[in-house]
Structures are given as C-alpha cells and as structure tokens.
Amino acid sequence: MRDVFAIVAKWLEQNRSFALGTLVALRDAATAPVGTTVAVDERGCVFGNIGAGCYEAEIVEACVQTARDGQSRRLDIDLTIDDEVTGGAGCGAAMEIIVWRPKPAFLNVARAIVAGKHDVPLIIEDDEGNGSRAAFEHVFAPKDTLILVGATALAAELAAIAGRLDYNVVVVDPRPTFATKERIPDACEIVRAWPDDYLPRALSEHTPIVMLSHDPKFDLAGLRCALDSNAPYIGLLGSRRSQAARRASLRTTGFDERALMRIHGPAGLQLGSASVAETALSIMAELVAVRHGGDGTPLRVGGGAIHRQLERVVGNA
C-alpha cells in the first residue's frame, strides 16, 4: 500500500491531475485493510488495487471523474450481491470508498506514509452533498524493523521480500567485505558492528530478528541479545545438529528451556525449499504467520473467513 503513496508523491511533484479511492469501511470480509488506496490519473492510468473484483472499474471511473472536476464521491459496493449470482461463490464483503483529490500540501503526508518512521494520520474530508462535511481518519502505523545478523546471500533475498511486506531491513555484520550495500541493495541500513554491540539498543517488540551467519560467534551473540529482549520472532538458520549445539551453548550461559522455546530454528516453514530464494520465502512465510497469529496450514483445510480483518495498515496494495 505504501507503494501507492510513493506514486501519489511523484504525481503531486509533477502537478498531474489525479484522484484517489480510499477504502474507509468494510463489513463481513477483509478483502483489503481499511485505508487501502488506489490512485488514478485523469487519463485512466491506475496504480494500486482495493479488491472490489468486477466493481474495480466503477472505482476507476469515479476517480477519473474526480481527477477532472475535483468533486469528492462516495461509493458503496456490496459484493454480497455476487453471492446471489454465483450461489455463494462471491467474497461476501460490503465496502465503502471515498474518492477524493489530494491538495498539493498532501505531498508531505504521502512522503511520511512511504517512509513509515512514525504514525501518520490520513485525514479525508468528504462533502456529503448537503452542505455538511465529514472526515475520515486513519493512522498508518510505522514499519516494523527486521534485523538480519549476517550479510549473506540469504540476507539479500530476505531483504528483497521483507521490503514488500512492510519491513525496514537492517543487516548487522562486522565484516566490511561482506556488509556492503552492493551485496544487499534492498537493506535500509547496514550496520558494521558485532551483534552484541548493536542489538541491545535496537531490539524491541517491533523488531523480529533472524540469525543467518552459520558462525557461532555471530549466532550466539545475536541469540543472547534476542532472548534478553522482547523481540516477537527469533529465527535461527542451520541444520538440526547446529540448532542443538547453539541451544546447548545457551544453556551454559543461563537460558532455560522456556527461553529457548522462543527460538524458531531451523527458521522457516516446510515448503520443500531448495534455492536461496525459496529458503527466504520459507522464513518470511513463518514470520508473517507469527506476525498475524496464523498457523501456516493450507487454506483448503478448515473453514471460516480466508482473510482476517487487519487492525494495522500494512504496506502492500
């Protein structure tokens, strides 16, 4: 979703005529989080998606009209009507969308949403057509930070995926030969330091961490700091034999079994991964499951809603 606001900032800088369609209310199914936005210019160039299925074209057309005349619009889309046609095969959501044209001053807000460094309120004033105005407000939460210990090829793949999943990625490695932007171009920050020098001040309940080095000097230093923190996810790469060895070393320094149970190692879900990219996908899949309280089972197993209603706004459209 932040990608859309990067385009918004670019279009404002270019003085392009465009409008935004923002999801402001949702009922019965989470096709997308509230706050999800699509950008459409006056020529019909579209960036983003709200998840309204065959009604997406209606949103685009409303955006084109607003881009041209500046008049805000409100759309009520009831996807439960699809159930009557498909015999219950529709998603069953009802959504409310405000179509609006941002003013030039919105540029700073768009940039702040993209940066994701702090809470950013999105406020939309909506003309209700009877002389009164209503305001929709949604707060974009800051990005979480994913810390990767070890500037490896896997770190580069994880950084690429994690950036799309609304993480700022920090890579920690004291070796200047390996800890370079050229090796890991998608990292937001590369810290050339030993893990135990950097991590104590960096870890929090919003900073998952994964040890990738295969080097006990880095792994154990990182694990000790992580276990002394309230990091929401502690991942450890390596074979089951190396996992046992790392745990044995940690026991000698005073960590009990309850603490060691916090370590996700070997990190990742069982996807049958073979390549480095597939291993990165496996690890990020587990991290996302932990982040949202999922259990990693196939969606075809069990019943209930496929998508959960999200409380926070995440970074992908």
Burial letters for 116-126: b for 16+ Cβ neighbours within 10 Å, e otherwise? beeebebebeb
Q: Are residues 103 and 159 in the same domain?
A: no
Domain that holds residue 221: 144-292
H or E stretch including 109?
A: helix 106-115
Instruction: Tell me how far CA of residue 77 lies from CA of 54, 92, 116, 127, 236, in angstroms.
Output: 10, 11, 30, 19, 45
Would you say residue 304 lies in a domain?
Answer: no
What's the number of domains the chain is made of?
A: 2
Nearest to 199 by CA among 145, 258, 275, 280: 145
Q: Are residues 149 and 278 in the same domain?
A: yes
- Mean pLDDT score, 104-114: 96
Per-residue pLDDT at 312:
39
Task: Give the separation between CA 227 and CA 73, rounded to whole angstroms.
Answer: 51
Would you say residue 44 lies in a domain?
Answer: yes
Residue 135 near residue 159 (C-beta atoms within 8 A)? no
Residue 138 near residue 121 (C-beta atoms within 8 A)? yes
In this model, does residue 45 exceed pLDDT 60? yes
Q: Are residues 136 and 233 in the same domain?
A: no
Return the SS3 of 6.
helix
Per-residue pLDDT of 168-208, as tens digits, reads 999 999 999 999 999 999 999 999 999 999 999 999 999 99
Q: Which residue shows structure tokens 């034999």? A: 241
What CATH number corresponds to the domain at position 189?
Answer: 3.40.50.720
Per-residue pLDDT of 283-312, as tens digits, reads 999 999 999 898 888 888 876 666 654 443
In this model, does residue 158 exceed pLDDT 80? yes
